[in-house]
């Protein structure tokens, strides 16, 4: 069994903008690291084998074309925000909704029931450890970046004490 998700990886200049955000030393927060920054299009969880999922993802470019999507342009920002409940600090990412829908369609047989919560593109910055909420004042820092998405990646995730370790198993070019 392998724990999988499908994602978009921002380019270096976008990662640099995220890295420049303030990251105060607050014991109740676990900050994510540069190698953990991505936009999850769909979390699949435990899957028996990765190759059938990779094969299904190869259908995404044609599905986008059939849906009339000629390019996927991601827009990061406009500001750092907390998800409801102030447990996950994140930067919103718009523009990947059609891509996420295609990924959900071709991966529907993995990961159990498709999510009932609408897709919300984002890059996770920090998670709250234990109980309680994160400091409200961490939200609102302006950030803006945009990029053309040129591939989706299938990633394996191994949980560890310092957060998850990721390995890209397959890259599927969109062009």
pLDDT digits (tens, 9 = 90+) for 18-67: 999 999 999 999 999 999 999 999 999 999 999 999 999 999 999 999 99
Q: What's the mean per-residue pLDDT of the chain?
A: 94
- 153 — pLDDT class (breaks 50, 70, 90): very high
Nearest in space to 75 (alpha carbons), one of 91, 93, 90: 93
pTM: 0.94
Beta strands (DSSP E) in the chain are: 2-8, 29-31, 39-47, 72-76, 81-82, 88-94, 122-128, 145-149, 151-158, 165-173
Burial of 171 (0-12, 13-18, 19+ CB in 10 A): middle
Q: What is the pLDDT of residue 113?
A: 64
Q: What is the pLDDT of residue 160?
A: 81
Going from the N-terminus, what domains does the chain have, and what CATH number goes with each?
A: 2-173 (3.90.1140.10)
- 118 — pLDDT class (breaks 50, 70, 90): confident
């Amino acid at each position: 069994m392998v724990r999988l998700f499908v994602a978009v990886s921002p380019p270096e200049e976008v990662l640099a903008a995220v890295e420049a955000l303030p990251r105060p030393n607050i014991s109740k927060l676990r900050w994510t690291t540069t190698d953990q920054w991505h936009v999850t299009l769909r979390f699949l969880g435990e899957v028996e084998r990765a190759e059938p999922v990779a094969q299904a993802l190869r259908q995404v470019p044609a599905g986008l074309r059939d849906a009339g999507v000629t390019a996927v342009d991601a827009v990061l920002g406009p500001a750092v925000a907390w998800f409801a409940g102030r447990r996950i600090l994140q930067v919103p990412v718009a523009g990947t909704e059609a891509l996420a829908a295609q990924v959900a369609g071709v991966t529907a047989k993995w990961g159990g029931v498709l999510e009932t919560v609408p897709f919300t593109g984002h890059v996770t910055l920090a998670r709250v450890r234990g109980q309680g909420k994160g400091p409200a004042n961490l939200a609102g820092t302006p950030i803006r970046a945009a990029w053309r998405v040129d591939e989706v990646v299938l990633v394996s995730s191994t949980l560890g004490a310092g957060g998850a370790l990721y390995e890209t198993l397959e890259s599927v070019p969109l062009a």
